Structure 1
Amino acid sequence: MKVVTVLTLNLSSVGQLTDEAFYNLCRTNPDLKFECTEDGKLIIVSPTGGETGIRNRRITQRLGNWTDEDNSGVSFDSSTCFKLPSGAKRSPDAAWIILERWESLTPEQRQKFPPLAPDFVIELRSPTDELDSLQAKMREYMSNGVRLGWLIDPILRRVEVYRLGEEVEVLESPSSLSGEDVLPGFVLDLDRIL
């Protein structure tokens, strides 16, 4: 029996879900994680299991530690929802934005769902995630201006590297990943993640 971890609701029959309505829906239901597609479909994502939670904590910790030392940007965990230029509202498992772009937002924009695409995103596949859905999400990030993205798949022990304007690169069982020119000097050690 397949476990459903994502529920998608088509709200077109009741009207458009405005940014403010989506924000209020999230605030009044803090135990649920919502995303919204660019065409207005509401996505309800269930929590992850323990092993995925441990892996994701390692990823956000390593990115956060580097960010605090480097000071060229800000990093975010999986709780942060971004309003992408397409109108989609997405929460990557980890994200990073160059400091100048972050500081260009108003205090209210920073407080709510930041209205921009991160420069860098990570998605971590859990055992109940459909790979094709995560790949579509990565393509959506790239089409909205994300410069570098990693889809980390511990199940297949591989990483898909997405670069703006380039073909996807698939790495089999890499030991680490480089932030390249987007996060110069950042290297994610994949020990106990893959």
Structure 2
Amino acid sequence: MRIASFIYAALCIAAPVQAQQVIVNVEERPDPWIINGCHIGPAAKCPGADLRFADLSNADLTGADLSQAKLSRADLRHANLSGANLTGADMEGARMTTVFMGGANLTGASLRGADLSFVRAAKAIFDRSDMTAATLEKALLKGATFHGARFVNTDLMEAKFYEANLEGATMEGVKLRFAVFQDAWMKDCKGCPTQWQTGETVWQTEEKERRRNEQ
């Protein structure tokens, strides 16, 4: 038994040590980057463009004109849409995690089933947009406007609506856990948490949960 153990240990020491192979996937974007006639880049002029299912992750579309564009199921994760014109765009089911869209105009856009978790959309315009079954978890929406917007079965958990304008919006079956509506305007909003500040604060709720878990 001792001899066998010695031989095994010797073989282990003698065996060459191979460095772990690291595989890095680098997908270069074409130059110019054109999808269905749309030149992808800052200030792109692509009204009504067909970009369904397109891979636009990490794309810089700052100030782009994508009004009435077809972006359903498109991958826009980590893209920059700051100041972009997305009025009337079809963005159903789009993947928009951590998109930068400060000041973007999404008036009348369809965002049904879209994933907008972690988006940064300060002062963006979502007037009359449809966010049915969309996810805005942990979205930063300070100063954004949602006149007449629809939030039906929408996930708004931990979303930040600081100074947002929700006048005339509709909320039905939404998830509001830990959402913040500090100084939000909710005139004529159906289902909005107009009394959200009268209840327990987030930290009070968290402290209760912590104590309950310790028992």
TM-score for both structures, normalised by structure 2 = 0.28
- Tell me the TM-score normalized by structure 1: 0.30
Q: Which has the higher contact order (CA 8 A, sep 6+)?
A: 1
* Structure with the largest fraction of strand: 1
Greater C-alpha Rg: 2
